[in-house]
Every structure is written in structure tokens, then in C-alpha cells.
Amino acid sequence: MLVIQKIQIEAFEQAALKRFEDEMVAHCRQFAAKLFEIRGEDCIREVVRLGMARAKQYGLTNRGPMRFYIELMFALGCDFDSDPQLPWAKAILQDSTVMDQMSRADLLHAKTSECFDRVVGLNNSIAVEALHRLQMTPINQYLTPGDHFQANLFKFLSDVYPQKYHYVGESALRILYSHGVEVTRSYAIPDQPGAGLIIALMFGFGHAIATDPLYPWVGACLSDSDLPSPNERLQRLYKKTMAYFGWMLKHLDS
């Protein structure tokens, strides 16, 4: 009788996971081609590994659900599962009444589709319009320090991207604002206007933008030791941000 030892089983499992990882990296080369091009394989592989580990924590171990979880990281940010702008993601992933992982993935897919219909639009039409408005609406004119700083920032988000602003809602945005202020302070940057730029990035790319491996330039600018002045780091971040938005618009318009 064939006896398969535990160490052999673990070796088989590791080999299967490595094959899946390689397949997902190859998939991302097509699924997120432009992002793959500018980030490179090492970064994408890091995100895939992170996604595999995160998906497993939520009981998503089959190929389809795990693959979809990783795709959501590219679409919504690597920490979409804890983003206050997407409370439905956390609720679905932690819902103990949904035992079947395919059912859990189907629920995530339905809510994601609803989100994209309202926020991204057919052929990215809503997102492209928001990027065009952003180019015509410099954030600095909204970020005058003072008692109305938060209200002015929210007006900027609403003016530039009204569909997402209303989808997320002010209650969630207030949570995002508080988190953004904490992150700003952690990099020794004054709350105003530094928090405005960081919160705007969180609004656009996810609440963990400062540590998201898909957007390493954000954290790099905030912690650049060659630029000890907070204002210099903010200016660098602003320039990088506008350059990235320009790249996005060129990609989405093509």
C-alpha cells in the first residue's frame, strides 16, 4: 500500500501554489497590462503572493475565488478588504453565514459590478471625465488652511468626481479623512494642506495608498530622506501624482 507522508503532501501543495502563482503573474500581464509594464514582474509577483495569503485568510482557497480576489486588489487597491469606502467588501468577506466560497465570490462580484457601474462607467467613461475635471481643477485652490479645510477638501472631491463622492458617502469619507490625517502625521507632515493631497489619493486609489505595493512612489515620496522638508516631499508627491494621473488619462483615452 502506498503511504504518502505529510512532508510529501506539503511538497505537493507548495508546488501547486507555485504553479498558481506563476499562472496569476502571467494572467496579470494581460489583465493589468499597463500596470504590469510600469511596475515590473517582481512587484506584480509580490502583489499576487499578498493576494493569495489574504484570500486564504477569508477561506478563498479555490482557483476561481482566489484569482478574483487578486483581481480586486488591482482594481480597488491592495487593502480593499478594509477600506471604509467599500464596507460591503469587508462585510461579505467576514460573513460567517456564507460558507461556500463560490457564493462569497459571487456576492463580491455583484457588489463590484454595481460599484463600477456607478463609479467607473461603461468603457471607463465616468473615470475619464473625472480625470479631465482633475486636470482643470487644481487641488491647491481648495486647500487653504483654516476651520473649513475638511469641507473644502470634500467640495474638491465632489467637484472632481461627484459619482464616487456620492457612492462613498460623507459618513465613510469622514472616516477616511481621520485616517488620512493620522497617516499624514506619521510622516511628520502638517495636517493642512498635506492631508488634503494624501486623502485625495486615498479617495482615488484606496485607503492604504501610502503602503500599497502597486503605488510605491507614494510612500517613497512621503519618506524620502533626501528631502527632509515636509513641503519638498509634498511637492514631489504632487508632481508624481499629476504625472501618474496624466499617464492614466492617456491610457484610458487610447
Closest to 21 in 3D by CA, of 57, 206, 56: 56
> pTM here?
0.90
Q: What was the pLDDT predicted at 140?
A: 77
How far apart CA 103 and CA 214 sit, in angstroms, is 28
Domain map (residue ranges) of the chain: 6-119, 122-253
Q: What was the pLDDT predicted at 1?
A: 47
Q: What was the pLDDT predicted at 40?
A: 94
Residues with Cβ < 8 Å from 72, sequence gap 6 or more?
A: 80, 89, 108, 112
Q: What was the pLDDT predicted at 4?
A: 56
Q: What was the pLDDT predicted at 245?
A: 87
Q: What was the pLDDT predicted at 137?
A: 84
List the Cα angle 29/201/82 in 5-degree steps. 75
Q: What was the pLDDT predicted at 246?
A: 85
Q: What was the pLDDT predicted at 250?
A: 82
CA atoms within 13 A on the CB side of 66: 22
Q: What was the pLDDT predicted at 13?
A: 65
Amino acid in position 62: N
| Under-50 pLDDT residues of the chain | 1-2, 12
Amino acid in position 167: Y
Q: What was the pLDDT predicted at 6?
A: 58
